[in-house]
């Protein structure tokens, strides 16, 4: 076998044979050397490391004595076990907010109720296989393109028309690697130092993408009607927002604010980035016109297959005014970055066969049922949820960040991973509470986790955190 590079330090006081044995143990622990591997002969290893054969023979003797390599006469030296990790110092528990759920004491696996997971349980596996097979039937691509496959862009146009009421021209649609990737691309078309407003609390990966492009990110409050448009400062280059279902609090941007936002964008010359994440997932809430329909000249509309199907497809779309679209394409050409095609092909194949529409209906049904179950578990603690009946998470407000942290920790102790609102803020938290995602787990797991949610919320309501044991 080829060993990984082994570094011996001749200036080190520990003997070379000891260093070599240490390095081989470390390689085995890291998985670079595995059970069944044949180690090089002492002679060839000595030649490779420019040390004497006595050094390699002494190192191998040590490992033989430890029992994790064995010499087979005439056949060489083989790894027969992986050495145990050296004993570390005492473990320090991470702060509650970062603590992963350990799993309840009965040994069952933890349930993850953090948001951002797709509901793969709603996927019809036969349709999924069919779509991948159809995608694989295409001949291998030769020339990459910066705009996306025609079949994908047509599927997106149809999807936007049928499910989002937006009439887009296929020429105006660009394939993207998903919404976050698209925000990062758009950010790089703006001048460094330009000011971009984001919702507070809001989607922090978008804020990070904007910051990463050297833009100044300005948090703007949200309320029960979504982004507070009147609170937008002057001198903006862009506003990033989630009007369909404000992330994470769940309000829809009201009709009046939609009109006001587009009017201000036109008057002040800024761009509105409409992240339509969750837009297709509404349960008994009437749709409002997309910002892109109200202001196609000033709005960049972003959609994604991440929530509808899975983020692993890496497929999304962007509908933008021609100048913005051209700037993104020019940048892709300059950088040699093109949206990957596999996910586009699968999405297009699902759409062509009608499977996407069927999936969307099934997904809505499934998520609406799950939402009802979550709302009932919250109601059992005599608490309301905020936001519209939409998307794949609900938010429950708590008194303060301490109560939030205590609830997350208590749930983790009972094998349920919960998310708090604190990490969805750009600045100091303005609201505290739990973000309960219900798409990811299988149904039985969700049903197992909901009584835990009720318990921790009851305790949060009665503020017994400090008093009793968790
Ligand atoms: C508001 C919002 N937009 C976009 C995304 C992710 O979209 P994508 O996977 O296409 O980057 C998320 C994921 O959690 C989100 O919360």
Q: What's the pLDDT score for residue 262?
A: 98
Sheet holding 195-200, edge to edge: 173-176, 316-319, 299-304, 271-275, 238-241, 195-200, 216-223, 226-227
Domain with CATH 3.90.1150.10 in the chain: 96-117+358-461
Q: Which ligand 1 atom sits nearest the alpha carbon of residue 305?
A: 10
Q: How far is the CA of 160 from the centre of ligand 1 (A)?
A: 18
Q: How far is the CA of 36 from the centre of ligand 1 (A)?
A: 44
In the predicted model, what is the mean pLDDT of the chain?
Answer: 90
| Strand (E) or helix (H) holding 314 | none
Asked if residue 202 has pLDDT above 60, the reply is yes
* CATH 3.30.70.560 for domain 125-353: no
Q: What's the pLDDT score for residue 469?
A: 41
CA distance 346 to 149: 11
Alpha helices in 269-354 (DSSP H): 291-294, 322-335, 342-352
Q: How far is the CA of 277 from the centre of ligand 1 (A)?
A: 6
Domain with CATH 1.10.10.10 in the chain: 16-79
Domain with CATH 3.40.640.10 in the chain: 125-353
Among residues 289, 219, 213, 300, the alpha carbon closest in space to that of 258 is found at 289
Strands (DSSP E) contained in 299-384 are: 299-304, 316-319
Of 22-31, 324-333, 414-423, 457-466, give the lowest mean pLDDT range. 457-466
Q: What's the pLDDT score for residue 20?
A: 93
DSSP for 1-52, please give it. Answer: -PPPP----TTSSS-HHHHHHHHHHHHHHTTSS-TTPEEPPHHHHHHHHT--
Asked if residue 458 has pLDDT above 90, the reply is yes
Q: Identify the band that residue 3 occupies on the pLDDT scale cut at 50, 70 and 90.
A: confident
Q: What number is the average pLDDT over the span 200-215?
A: 98
Q: What's the pLDDT score for residue 467?
A: 40
Residue nearest to atom 10 of ligand 1 (CA): 178
Asked if residue 5 has pLDDT above 90, the reply is no
Q: What number is the average pLDDT over the span 427-450?
A: 95
127 or 286, greater pLDDT: 127
Asked if residue 466 has pLDDT above 50, the reply is no
CA distance 253 to 343: 30
Identify which of 183, 185, 240, 247 to mutate to test ligand 1's pocket (most ligand atoms within 8 A of the CB): 247
> pTM above the 0.85 mark?
no
Q: Which residues line ligand 1 (CB under 6 A)?
A: 116, 178-180, 203, 242, 247, 275, 277, 304, 306, 311, 316
Assign a CATH topology to domain 16-79.
Answer: Arc Repressor Mutant, subunit A (1.10.10)
How far from the centroid of its chain's Cα atoms is residue 329's Cα?
A: 25
pLDDT tens digit sequence for 260-293: 999 999 999 999 999 998 888 988 777 789 999 9
Q: What number is the average pLDDT over the span 291-297?
A: 96
95 or 397, greater pLDDT: 397
Residue nearest to atom 13 of ligand 1 (CA): 116
CATH of 96-117+358-461, one of 3.40.50.300, 3.30.70.2860, 3.40.1710.10, 3.90.1150.10: 3.90.1150.10
| Strand (E) or helix (H) holding 234 | none
């Amino acid at each position: 076998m080829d060993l990984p590079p082994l570094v011996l330090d001749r200036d080190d006081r520990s003997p070379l044979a000891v260093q070599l044995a240490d390095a081989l143990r470390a390689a085995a622990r890291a998985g670079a050397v595995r059970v069944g591997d044949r180690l090089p002969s002492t002679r060839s290893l000595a030649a490779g490391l420019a040390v004497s054969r006595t050094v390699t023979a002494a190192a191998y003797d040590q490992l033989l004595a430890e029992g994790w390599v064995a010499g087979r006469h005439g056949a060489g030296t083989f790894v027969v076990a992986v050495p145990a990790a050296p004993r570390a110092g005492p473990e320090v528990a991470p702060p509650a907010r970062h603590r992963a759920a350990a799993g309840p004491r009965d040994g069952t696996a933890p349930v993850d109720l953090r948001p951002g997971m797709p509901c793969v349980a709603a996927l019809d596996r036969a349709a999924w296989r069919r779509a991948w097979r159809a995608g694989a039937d295409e001949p291998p691509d030769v020339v990459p393109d910066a705009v996306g496959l025609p079949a994908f862009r047509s599927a997106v146009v149809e999807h936007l028309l049928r499910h989002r009421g937006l009439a887009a021209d296929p020429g105006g649609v660009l394939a993207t690697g998903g919404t976050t990737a698209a925000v990062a691309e758009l950010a790089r078309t703006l001048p460094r130092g330009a000011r971009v407003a984001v919702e507070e609390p809001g989607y922090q990966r978008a804020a990070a993408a904007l910051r990463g492009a050297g833009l100044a990110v300005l948090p703007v409050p949200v309320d029960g009607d979504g982004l507070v448009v009147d609170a937008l400062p002057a001198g903006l280059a862009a506003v990033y927002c989630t009007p369909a279902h404000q992330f994470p609090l769940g309000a829809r941007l009201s009709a009046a604010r939609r009109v006001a936002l587009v009017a201000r964008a036109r008057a002040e010359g800024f761009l509105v980035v409409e992240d339509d994440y969750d837009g297709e997932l509404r349960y008994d809430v009437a749709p409002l016109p997309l910002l892109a329909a109200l202001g196609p000249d000033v709005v960049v509309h972003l959609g994604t297959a991440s929530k509808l199907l899975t983020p692993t497809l890496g497929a999304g779309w962007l509908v933008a005014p021609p100048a913005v679209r051209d700037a993104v394409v020019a940048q892709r050409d300059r950088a040699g970055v093109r949206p990957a095609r596999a996910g586009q092909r699968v999405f297009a194949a699902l759409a062509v066969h009608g499977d996407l529409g069927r999936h969307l209906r099934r997904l809505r049904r499934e998520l609406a049922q799950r939402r009802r179950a979550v709302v009932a578990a919250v109601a059992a603690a005599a608490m309301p949820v905020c936001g519209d009946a939409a998307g794949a998470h609900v938010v429950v407000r708590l008194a303060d960040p301490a109560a939030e942290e205590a609830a997350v920790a208590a749930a983790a102790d009972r094998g349920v991973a919960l998310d708090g609102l604190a990490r969805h803020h750009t600045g100091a938290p303005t609201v505290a509470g739990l973000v309960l995602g219900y798409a990811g787990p299988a149904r039985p797991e969700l049903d197992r986790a909901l009584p835990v949610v009720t318990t921790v919320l009851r305790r949060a309501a009665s503020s017994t955190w400090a008093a009793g044991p968790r």
